[in-house]
Structure 1
Amino acid sequence: MRLPAARGPLTDELIAALRQPAGSVQLFGAGLALDSPAAALSDDDLQLGLWICYELHYAGFTDAEPGWEWEPELMSWTRALEGLFGSALRSCVSPAPTPGGDSIADRLRALVDADDGPALSRHLQSSATVEEFREFVTHRSLYHLKEADPHSWAIPRLRGKAKAALIEIQFDEYGAGSLSRMHSELFRTTMRSLGLDDSYGCYLDQAPGVTLAISNLMSYFGLHRENRGALVGHLAAFEMTSSMPNRRYGKGLRRLGGDAAATRFYDEHVTADALHEQLAAHDLCGSVVADEPDLADDVLFGAACALHLDNLFAAHLLRCWASGRSSLRVVETERLTGYRASETDSGAVVG
């Protein structure tokens, strides 16, 4: 993956710096004007800047100079962006009160059950066009092509039953040691069935800030030990809200002509996440809070953040589609159109 195009003064400065030898450039952190704290959650410049910084801890960029990952200048710059992101989350997300005497699993269940976000999965199941489904998969590729990696940062930060529960969940996510069963590989098959390029990060330039924020949230929680409670709460909400939507996604893709290979990613999550839900809420979060009771509020906050950003994402897609617009950023580059005629003509899903 190569560095993307800049989207404002922050990313213009950052990307130019990453092409220079590490430590040779001073980052000033160009000012970012936001209308409100909430604007940070979808701001293209801020979210892309964070995504780039975080990606240096994952696969990185072929055209970034080596040595930047832990460069103090960049760490300070990243922390400034995280400050804006964290403040926006605290300003916009407040978990609904739940009975303090209930178990953390019960409190998570109450939080999830109270969520009434936009019905994106229902739209994709019953009425989405092929192009809308392509767009949805394009958005999700920014996370699903490295699925489970952000939550794995918690493994060395947990102990005992909590660690064992997380490893059991992650073992399934990584295909139980089989490459062909890894969830990221299953998603690649889904992408190819829709005529999309399954190269890692291919659609970064097309992903709007609200899409990048979903991945950034996981990395923000995962890369800081102090956020370990929020990270496991995020994973619990992720698993507890996964089974039914994935059932709907699978049905929607079959309605559009997808075969068993195309829908396997979604079908796999219907059964796997029903089990993961219990593991995440009871064995993982329950054990974390039993060991460290002070983390209960962090667990609930992480779960609430996951729900909030997913709702912002769903609202963006549905709002764009209702007005006849693409939900992706317009990029005037043929390789980023999200459609490869040769593959579609040779068997990909068509309307």
Structure 2
Amino acid sequence: MRLPEARGPITARLFASLAGEPGEAVLVTPVPGGDPLHDGDLQLALFACYELHYQGFDDVDERWEWEPSLLGVRAGLERHFEEALAAAVPRPRPVAPGQVRRALADLCRAGDGPLSRHLQRRATLDQFREFVVHRSIYHLKEADPHTWAIPRLRGRAKAALVEIQADEYGGGRRERMHSELFRATMRGLGLDDAYGAYLDRVPGITLAVSNLMSLFGLHRRRRGALAGHLAALEMTSSLPNRRYAAGLRRLGGDDAAALFYDEHVQADAVHEQVAAHDLCGGLAADDPALTGDILYGAACALEVDRLWAEQVLGRWERGESSLEAAGHLVS
């Protein structure tokens, strides 16, 4: 993957820095009054900073990863992101550590929104392809952001996270890794399955969905929020994925293309119990001070994903593409 096209003054200056030798990174401060969660320029800049801790960019010197000036740039972008999250997501009511599982269930009760039903029953093939393009930003690195928490946990919570992640990585079998299963879905839809192939096509809110995981994953102080985030994903996964699989088959997708969704129907029915009871319940029991962060992380996951789905559906209802303009999707 190479650096994407700049989307504004922040990414233009940042990418100009990253294209050169590691040194002083220059940042344009975001304009006050905007919406950081939907700001494609800000979210792409933050995504690029985070990506240096994952697969990186072929045209960026790897020494940039820990360049102090770039870490300062990232911290500034994160402040805007975190302030926007605080404004959009009220902190859930505090509960005792023993009530975390029930509180998570209450938060996730309305987790399956209208997007999954649209994809199951009414979406066109082009719309389903667009949906998969959006999700490729995360699913091609599926599990990686949450894996950052493993060395930051202990006891029951660590064992639970390792159990979940082992399944996400296919139990040691490459062809069963969820990221590889998603590649098969992309190929079945005639899409480019290369890592980051559609980074230029997705809007800011799609990048925010991925950036939220990295924000929580790359900061030890956010380990509680990361655990809650993962629990929310697992607890709201099985039914939507059942609908995605049905929608894909309705549109002519075969079993190989639908396997990613079929796998999540089965695996996440188990994962949601492990995540809520052992990961989050164990973490709260071990460190009661993190209880509020666990619930906040879950609430953030649900709200940012809701905002993303709302934008996608809104554009489709207006007869528009949900992606940024550029070429055709089918490879």
Output the TM-score relative to the length of structure 2: 0.97
Distance 2:28 2:145 in 1: 28
**CA–CA separation in structure 2 for the residues paired with 1:194 and 1:34:** 40
The 10-residue stretch of structure 1 (267-276 or 58-67) with the greater mean CA deviation from structure 2 = 58-67
Runs of 4+ in 1 over 2 A off after TM superposition: 95-102, 115-118
* Cα displacement (A) at 1:129: 0.2
| Distance in 1 between residues matched to 2:317 and 2:174, nearest whole Å | 39
Contact 2:111–2:236 under 8 Å retained in 1: no
Q: How is 1:119-130 mapped onto 2 (pairs within 5 angstroms)? A: 119-130=114-125
CA distance in 2, matches of 1:291, 1:140: 34
How much has 1:112 moved relative to structure 2?
Answer: 1.0
Check whether the contact 2:56–2:62 (CA below 8 A) recurs between aligned residues. Answer: no
Q: For 1:42, what is the secondary structure of its paired residue?
A: coil
Q: CA deviation at 1:100?
A: 4.5
Q: How far did 1:42 drift?
A: 1.0
Question: Would you say 1:76 and 2:67 are equivalent positions?
Answer: no
Please give the alpha-carbon distance, in whole angstroms, between the structure 1 residues aligned to 2:113 and 2:240: 12
Partner of 2:212: 217
Match of 1:54 in 2: 50
Q: Report the counterpart of residue 349 of structure 1 in structure 2.
A: none
Q: For residue 281 of structure 1, what is the amino acid of its counterpart?
A: A
Task: Select 1:87's aligned residue among 71, 78, 83.
Answer: 83
Using the TM superposition, give the Cα deviation of residue 31 of structure 1 relative to its aligned residue in structure 2, in angstroms. Answer: 2.6
Give the structure 2 partner of residue 42 of structure 1. 38
Question: Which residue in the other structure is 1:31 paired with?
Answer: 29
Deviation at 1:34, TM superposition (A): 4.0
Instruction: Structure 2 unaligned segments of length 5 or more: list them.
Output: none
Deviations 1:238-293 (A, max 9, x none): 00000000000000001001111010000000010000000000000001000100
Are the aligned partners of 1:34 and 1:40 in contact in 2 as well (CA < 8 Å)? no
The count of aligned residue pairs is: 331
Residues 57-88 of structure 1, C-alpha deviations (whole Å, 9 max, x = no match): 00000011231000000000000000000111
Alignment partner of 1:63 is 2:36? no
Instruction: Give 3-state SS (helix, strand or coil) of 1:40's partner.
Output: coil
Q: 1:94, CA displacement in angstroms?
A: 1.1
1:163 and 2:158 correspond:
yes
Gaps of 5+ in 1: 341-351
Report the secondary structure of 2:225's partner residue.
Answer: helix
Deviation at 1:338, TM superposition (A): 1.4
Match of 1:198 in 2: 193
Specify the code of the residue in structure 2 equivalent to 1:225.
R
Q: Deviations over 1:24-45 (max 9, x none)?
A: xx33421321435xx1111001
Distance in 2 of aligned mates of 1:98 and 1:250 = 37
TM-score (norm 1): 0.92
Task: State the match for 1:149 in structure 2.
Answer: 144
Please tell me whether residue 13 in structure 1 is matched to residue 33 in structure 2. Answer: no
CA contact (8 A) 1:98 1:107 kept: no
